């Protein structure tokens, strides 16, 4: 004789209550938001007076700090140096008035690109420095291992201690 299946399974767990949806924070409430119109107004004011206002300096700082939280830059230990390089490069672009205020309407994109390239250049610089250190360490290690102080003239090799089961 066959058992009749019931509508409620005995092994099913009770339904979990749904979590209330979290409200997204508006970009305008975050501390890295730069308003496009305000940024353009501050740039025009700087180009006419050659005096950097506190707001313009804050916008430059917010752009570089905001970019440092991008997924491709967030885990670097020298993030502060990257932000500093970006601020320096953006201030140089301001000083030499590189942004064409008449023909362009997106200063945020322009200065973000400057910051992005400054970040990339810092990563390349740190990579070159790290490679130089590694090369030097390898050279010193090889000289110590091949030193003539060994009487028998036998070269000493150290085995790799990693556990490879393959």
In terms of phi and psi (left: phi > 0; alpha: psi -120 to 50; beta: otherwise), the region of 50 is left
Q: Has residue 127 got a pLDDT over 80?
A: yes
Q: Tens digit of pLDDT for each residue in 36-50? A: 999 999 999 999 999
Across the chain, mean pLDDT equals 85
Question: Is 134 in a helix, a strand, or coil?
Answer: helix
The residue among 19, 16, 38 whose CA lies nearest residue 28 is 38
Give pLDDT, residue 153: 59
Tell which wins on pLDDT, 6 or 57.
Answer: 57
Instruction: Count CB-CB contacts under 10 A for residue 67.
Output: 21
Closest of 153, 86, 138 to residue 113, by C-alpha: 86
Query: Each residue of 60-89: pLDDT tens digit?
Result: 999 999 999 999 999 999 999 999 999 999
Look up the pTM and report it: 0.71
Res 5: pLDDT: 57
pLDDT of residue 156: 61
Percent of the chain's residues with pLDDT above 90: 64
The b/e string for 15-25 (b: 16+ C-beta within 10 A; e otherwise) is: eeeeeeeeeee
- Distance (Å) of CA 65 to CA 31, 59, 112: 10, 10, 10
Q: Tell me what pLDDT residue 162 has.
A: 73
Contacts of 47 (CB under 8 A, 6+ apart): 97, 101
């Amino acid at each position: 004789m066959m058992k009749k299946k019931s509508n409620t399974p005995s092994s099913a767990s009770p339904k979990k209550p749904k979590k209330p949806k979290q409200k997204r924070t508006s970009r305008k409430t975050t501390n890295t938001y730069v308003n496009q119109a305000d940024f353009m107004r501050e740039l025009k004011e700087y180009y006419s007076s050659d005096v950097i206002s506190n707001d313009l300096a804050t916008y430059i700082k917010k752009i570089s700090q905001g970019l440092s939280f991008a997924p491709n830059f967030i885990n670097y230990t020298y993030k502060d140096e990257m932000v500093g390089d970006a601020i320096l490069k953006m201030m140089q672009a301001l000083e030499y008035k590189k942004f064409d205020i008449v023909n362009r309407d997106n200063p945020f994109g322009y200065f973000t690109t400057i910051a992005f390239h400054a970040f990339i250049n810092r990563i390349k610089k740190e990579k070159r420095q790290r490679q130089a250190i590694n090369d030097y360490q390898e050279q010193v290690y090889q000289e110590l291992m091949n030193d003539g102080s060994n009487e028998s003239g036998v070269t000493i090799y150290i085995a790799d201690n990693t556990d490879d089961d393959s």
